[in-house]
Chains A and B, each alone.
Chain A
């Protein structure tokens, strides 16, 4: 399968075969075929060499041994966080924002804008539509309007010719 020049894993979108080879998880039969292919395929050889360097670097890394009470300390810290007052939990993202953590910026900006909008709508004074508030009820205005209308009618009916 991999022995012919036309079945290069990089040219047939099968790079995972090379990755398996480098991680030493490829079965022996396929590993033999790939090595025969690499004998004359420089691209696969280079990639395999690069992967081998990564694997050898990873082999050099020694993880710190986990302490015996790691789990106990972890759960203790989680419990401590849950004990933090609500205001501190609200303040924490703001503090993080002020310290320059970019992920919170849009949220804080939107919250600040909403707060300002709410304050402006609730607190802003009414636009001055009249110099003074009318010290009279609407109903009284309507009654005055009716009275004026009726008196105007009676005045016209009462009118006399001049000199009469």
Chain B
């Protein structure tokens, strides 16, 4: 009887699930890691749904959801759009880590400064500024439309973004 009880106790203790250590990866804003290898994204993209689920299982829920959402958006893009973004990304990767961080900060400021309904217009302005030579750029900046459409702070941000963003393909 005592032997049987001991065995039951031992099996009960052993049946308790062991807590798995939480994955401690770099956070979303942590950009101190090494360079990003393009093949990592392709490898991740080509995983089966089960393999992807297994790869993400130990990430915090918010990060997992962000990755899944961004990947779904990527898959929804047309081949042309995908190619264009890949081209921009290739040039972005050629930048130094410091420059890359600067672009990320500018994008954050852009998202905070412009509400969604004004972003497309602002992005069009950035593109025009990027394409323009010095003379054309001066003309745009001094134009009535530019001065009336944006505040001083917004104009400064747009000019800075035109200087720092990678070129489109």
Contacts and interface: CB of A to CB of B under 8 A. Distances in A.
B84 interface: yes
Interface centre among A114, A133, A135, A151 (most CB of B within 10 A): A151
A138 B40 CA distance: 10
Nearest to A164: B124
Contact of B85 (A112, A130, A158, A160): A158
B51 A161 contact: no
A11 interface: no
Contacts of A133: 54
B63 A147 contact: no
Interface of A: 105-106, 108-110, 112-114, 116-117, 120-121, 124, 127, 129-136, 138-161, 164
B139 interface: no
Contact of B88 (A110, A142, A154): A154
Interface residues of B, number: 66
B156 interface: no
A145 B63 contact: yes
Contacts of B28: 149
27 contacts: A109-B2, A112-B6, A113-B9, A120-B10, A120-B14, A121-B14, A129-B20, A130-B54, A130-B57, A132-B50, A134-B54, A136-B43, A136-B47, A141-B56, A145-B66, A146-B31, A146-B33, A147-B89, A154-B88, A157-B123, A157-B161, A158-B84, A158-B85, A158-B123, A158-B168, A159-B119, A160-B124
Chain B contact residues: helix, strand, loop or mixed: helix
B40 A144 contact: yes
A142 B2 contact: no
